[in-house]
């Protein structure tokens, strides 16, 4: 016959010690998880997401700017210079070709993930969670919609930078869409895009302390027309016309400390970096009106 037996004082001591040990173990595990989650967030095998080596990369070396970090990451259709201090690229460089833009678009990937090619480990999607900032593409996904691999690689976190939503979906979108119009008109463009990391930012986000840039730049060179234009735009909603942010390449070099197209533009081409002819880069007024009427309100 089994009868209820009140716990003895020795039993009380045993259960108290056991409970205390379990509590401390659980607390230690929670702390470890919080510390470890930033850089180890659901790592994906390299085999699942193959990235290009420099030998497989299809971006011509001569279009690359100088790097202030020395960390060059090659993917199939774009190259970047990664800044570990800011957990994002200081620039991405790629070709925008008419023939690629005229091909049917592949399905949008949407698979944001850390970049396995960054040896110091890139930011993670979780860094942006709850931040109110968009995961803004530096190489636009739409520029790479001609190929599944090209599209997929734009969702690597080394190609992502924190952007104000109405900037990303507003004036930055307008600039990207105009750039595609220019490529269709001029046949080929060499584009370098990045955040301005040499000026105070808007703070940091996430476990990895990703810098929120105060502005972004885009430098564009049309080799066949031997014409160039650049833009520096604050990371904020804007109602101003896009061309008010246009500038010469020299202005962006002075701001960022980066030398753009050093292998293409020699001293004899100094005028291409020092001036900009806005008339050679027509923009869509209807797109600007749509930004004011719709995109800035979304």
- Annotated catalytic residues are 137
Distance separating the N- and C-terminal Cα atoms of the chain:
73
* Helix ranges, the chain (H): 9-36, 98-101, 148-153, 165-166, 172-186, 249-256, 270-274, 285-293
Long-range Cβ pairs for the range 108-113 (8 Å, 24+): 108/141, 108/145, 108/151, 109/141, 109/148, 109/151, 109/152, 109/154, 109/155, 110/155, 111/152, 111/155, 112/155, 112/157, 112/160, 113/44, 113/49, 113/155, 113/156, 113/157
Q: Bridge partners of 234?
A: 215
Conformation bin of residue 187: beta by default, left when phi > 0, alpha when psi is -120 to 50: left
Exposed, middle or buried: residue 39 (CB in 10 Å: 0-12, 13-18, 19+)? middle
DSSP state for residue 106 in the 8-state scheme: P
Report residue 150 as tokens.
């090209």
Token pair in block for residue 241: 């016309």
Entry field: residues in the chain: 298
The sign one gets for the Cα dihedral 102, 296, 220, 285 is positive
Beta bridge partners, 209, equal none
């Amino acid at each position: 016959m089994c009868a209820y037996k009140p716990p003895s004082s020795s039993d009380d001591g045993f259960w108290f010690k056991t409970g205390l040990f379990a509590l401390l173990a659980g607390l230690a595990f929670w702390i470890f998880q919080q510390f470890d989650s930033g850089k180890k967030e659901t790592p994906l095998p390299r085999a699942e997401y193959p990235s290009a080596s420099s030998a497989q990369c299809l971006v011509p070396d001569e279009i690359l700017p100088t790097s202030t970090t020395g960390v060059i990451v090659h993917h199939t259709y774009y190259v970047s210079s990664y800044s570990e201090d800011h957990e994002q690229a200081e620039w991405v460089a790629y070709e925008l070709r008419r023939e690629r833009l005229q091909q049917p678009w592949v399905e949008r990937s949407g698979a944001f993930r850390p970049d396995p090619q960054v040896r110091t480990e890139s930011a993670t999607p979780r860094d942006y969670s709850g931040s109110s900032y968009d995961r803004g593409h530096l190489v636009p996904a739409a520029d790479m919609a001609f190929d599944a691999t090209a599209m997929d690689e734009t969702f690597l976190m080394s190609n992502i930078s924190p952007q104000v939503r109405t900037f990303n979906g507003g004036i930055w979108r307008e600039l990207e869409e105009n750039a595609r119009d220019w490529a269709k008109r001029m046949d080929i463009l060499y584009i370098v895009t990045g955040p301005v990391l040499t000026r105070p930012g808007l703070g940091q986000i996430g476990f990895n302390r990703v810098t929120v840039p105060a502005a972004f730049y885009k430098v564009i060179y049309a080799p066949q027309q031997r014409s160039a234009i650049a833009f520096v735009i604050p990371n904020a909603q804007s109602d101003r016309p896009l061309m008010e942010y246009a500038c010469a390449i020299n202005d962006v070099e002075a701001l960022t400390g980066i030398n753009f197209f050093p292998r293409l533009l020699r001293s004899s081409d100094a005028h291409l970096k020092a001036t900009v002819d806005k008339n050679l880069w027509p923009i869509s007024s209807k797109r600007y009106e749509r930004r004011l009427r719709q995109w800035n309100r979304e």
